[in-house]
Structure 1
Amino acid sequence: MTKVYILHENDEWTKPLMAALEELNVPHEGWHLDEGIVPLDETPPEGIFYNRMSASSHSRGHRYAPELTDALINWLESHGRKVFNNLRALQLEVSKVAQYEALKKFDILVPRTTAAVGNKSLMKAAENFSTPFITKHNRAGKGLGVHRFDHIDALKSAVKTNDIEASVDGIMLLQQYIDAPDSTITRCEFVGGKFLYAVKVDTSEGFELCPAEACEIGDQFCPTDGSDRSEVKNETRPKFEIIDNFSSPLIEKYEKFLAANGITFAGIEQITDSQGRTYTYDVNTNTNYNPQAEDAAGIHGMKEVAKFLKRQLETSLV
């Protein structure tokens, strides 16, 4: 039976999509890729495939899930199967270095960033870096490795005491710290490669730079279920809020970037400093949506994803 196959490693993140597909009577099947087999001498099943692999899979005990997904997509694409968020999209998901270099090709401003392997290299790079700066992991998600430093001596002390956790791929990033005056970032959501909506994320509760990543630090806020478990709360505005009639010259650039890199579904995160400069610092090809913000705005990302997949499946049957 021809169906939609969802490639993933997190059942909780996939449940909303499964429910939306069920509602639309779309035949589907989830492939949980924490471990498994890729039968290279066999032919893949008929259908379309949606890659939702996450760069943070190792934080859930699924260290080699991206590598397995890489092998799987190679197999699928070699047999002509349509994969949404294809092999190139997966490459960008697991490497912020690759993201930044790809974004630059479309004249999209990114924060100044240096990649380093090894603590000595990290500290040497920091000697030529303006403060404040942050560290972050190249393969990240969930705010992994994000720390702010106001002086290089603070970084040296953190390295000496092993307070900076190593990146799973060995590559640590030094990045320009962007100070947003209103303590918010904006995440632009795309479905089918086209802009869907933008959501404002409140980062006032002590988070450094990353929006959807930072809001998961310490499990204080889960964007997928809307539950706030932090002790300190900002009562003046919601954590996530969809922006009415959002407009930006970056949208057209983002759409061209997505099309050129095989990305069908994504959340792209940006931050604006006190001088009005907007920096793009993260591309999430395994995007999730906040249900409370969506209910308030009357728009639902996963339902739009399901509708897109339904249309694509029907087209493949013609």
Structure 2
Amino acid sequence: MSASLPDLAVVYEHPEWFEPLFRALDRHGVSYVKVPLAGGSFDPAGSPAPATVVFSRVAMSSFLREPEHPIFYAQSLFEHWQGLGTRVVNASALNIDTSKARQMSLIARLGLKGPATRVAHRQADIPAAAQGLRFPVLVKADIGGAGAGITRYETPEKLAEAAGEKWCPVGVNGISLIQEYAPRRDGKVTRVETLNGKYLYALDIESPGDAFDLCPADACLVRPGAPTLTMTKANPSPEIIAAVERIAVEGGLEVGGVEYLIDERNGDVLFYDINGLSNFVANPVQVLGFDPHDTLVDWLKAIVAEEKIKRGGERAA
């Protein structure tokens, strides 16, 4: 590959979400190229990566903004570049990020608690799948983002009616999750961000009512209809941090967040979401006391340096 390649390519779908990242890259003097997925194509017999290192910023909520969303295209593109020997940061997170069903299986496999959940293949299967769950329940799309379409059903009859009329949320892959509703202690959830499998920071997010769109980043908060969120720095217990780090490592998250709530009925810690796209909190210095984008960029710079050394050694050999 040419020595004149930029150090980093940031591959993304949302046109505004990554401006804080781009500003941090500029501050640190990183040579990078922006690669929006819209309009993309590649040659399976060619199309080398556009930079020494590629950073995946693919949002699962992209299907809400564009019917021809790039989620599956990005998976094929990243696998192509990886096959050519390119380091694609966080491509490993796509397997877990693209399925809430896989997320809940991972949480259970690690011996952690989550809301009681059933996974249904078709809308017609939802009422039977929900048998034995405590109502109210939530129905979620398997591939979701920004709280996409999450709907609460108070009774089995209401759920059966919605499923019969095909009103229930389904993912773009046709899969739905039925999950026992757990009331949040103090009306909040906690989002723990990780970097390279290690704790970065945690954030308590409070929302009005049962809002499920809890993205705390700058661009999320200015969207029409977005809920008013209260965000404060959180300090999870060492046990919770250790659990989150296990989830991040086993789930292949190089950069990503894990969300949990405390069930106000019994005090259980319930992990319910694994997110491979971290936009980080708005006003980070005010909320956290530091800007996590700087930490992220320092880590990316180290990866770029490692790749250059490796490629130099391969050329010498």
TM-score by length of 1: 0.87
| Structure 1 residues 227 and 160, CA gap change in structure 2 (3 angstroms) | same
User: 1:282-301 maps to which residues of 2 (within 5 A)?
Assistant: 282-292=273-283, 294-301=285-292
Q: Does the Cα contact within 8 Å between 1:13 and 1:224 map onto a contact in 2?
A: yes
Q: Which residue does the alignment assign to 1:256?
A: 246
SS at match of 1:224: helix
Cα deviation, 1:143-187, whole Å, max 9, x if unaligned, reads: 112111121112233345554343221111100111123110000
Distance of 2:227 and 2:45 partners within structure 1: 55
Q: Which residue does the alignment assign to 1:33?
A: 37
Superposition deviation, residue 261 in structure 1: 3.4
Superposition deviation, residue 100 in structure 1: 1.5
| Structure 1 residues 60 and 227, CA gap change in structure 2 (3 angstroms) | closer
* Structure 1 position 98 matched with structure 2 position 102: yes
State the one-letter code of the partner of 1:73.
Answer: F
Q: Which residue does the alignment assign to 1:52?
A: 57
Cα deviation, 1:183-216, whole Å, max 9, x if unaligned, reads: 100000112321111000003x1225x4xxx236
User: 1:154-193 maps to which residues of 2 (within 5 A)?
Assistant: 154-160=158-164, 163-193=167-197
* Structure 1 position 9 matched with structure 2 position 8: no
| Structure 1 residues 231 and 84, CA gap change in structure 2 (3 angstroms) | closer
Q: Does the Cα contact within 8 Å between 1:272 and 1:279 map onto a contact in 2?
A: yes
Cα deviation, 1:33-88, whole Å, max 9, x if unaligned, reads: 134212221243451111111111111105340111111111111122111112x4
Aligned length: 303
Q: Which residue does the alignment assign to 1:224?
A: 219
Superposition deviation, residue 6 in structure 1: 1.2
Distance of 1:258 and 1:59 partners within structure 2: 26
* Structure 1 position 111 matched with structure 2 position 110: no
| Structure 1 residues 303 and 11, CA gap change in structure 2 (3 angstroms) | farther
Q: Which residue does the alignment assign to 2:209?
A: 206
1:266 maps to which of 256, 267, 282: 256
| Structure 1 residues 61 and 231, CA gap change in structure 2 (3 angstroms) | closer
Superposition deviation, residue 5 in structure 1: 1.1
State the one-letter code of the partner of 1:300.
Answer: D
Q: Does the Cα contact within 8 Å between 1:225 and 1:291 map onto a contact in 2?
A: no
| Structure 1 residues 177 and 294, CA gap change in structure 2 (3 angstroms) | farther
| Structure 1 residues 228 and 90, CA gap change in structure 2 (3 angstroms) | closer
SS at match of 2:290: coil
2:233 maps to which of 242, 248, 253: 242
| Structure 1 residues 35 and 94, CA gap change in structure 2 (3 angstroms) | farther
Identity of aligned residues (%): 23
Q: Does the Cα contact within 8 Å between 1:9 and 1:62 map onto a contact in 2?
A: no
Q: Does the Cα contact within 8 Å between 2:141 and 2:148 map onto a contact in 1?
A: yes
Distance of 2:233 and 2:293 partners within structure 1: 15
Q: Does the Cα contact within 8 Å between 2:126 and 2:163 map onto a contact in 1?
A: no
Deviates more, 1:118-127 or 1:4-13: 118-127
Deviates more, 1:29-38 or 1:2-11: 29-38
State the one-letter code of the partner of 1:247.
Answer: S
- What stretches of structure 1 of length at least 5 have no aligned partner? none
Distance of 1:58 and 1:136 partners within structure 2: 14
Distance of 1:40 and 1:184 partners within structure 2: 46
Q: Which residue does the alignment assign to 2:312?
A: none
TM-score by length of 2: 0.87
Q: CA RMSD in A?
A: 2.3
Q: Which residue does the alignment assign to 1:312?
A: 303
| Structure 1 residues 280 and 75, CA gap change in structure 2 (3 angstroms) | same
Distance of 2:70 and 2:103 partners within structure 1: 20
- What stretches of structure 2 of length at least 5 have no aligned partner? 310-317
State the one-letter code of the partner of 1:224.
Answer: A
Q: Does the Cα contact within 8 Å between 2:217 and 2:279 map onto a contact in 1?
A: no
Q: Which residue does the alignment assign to 1:215?
A: 214
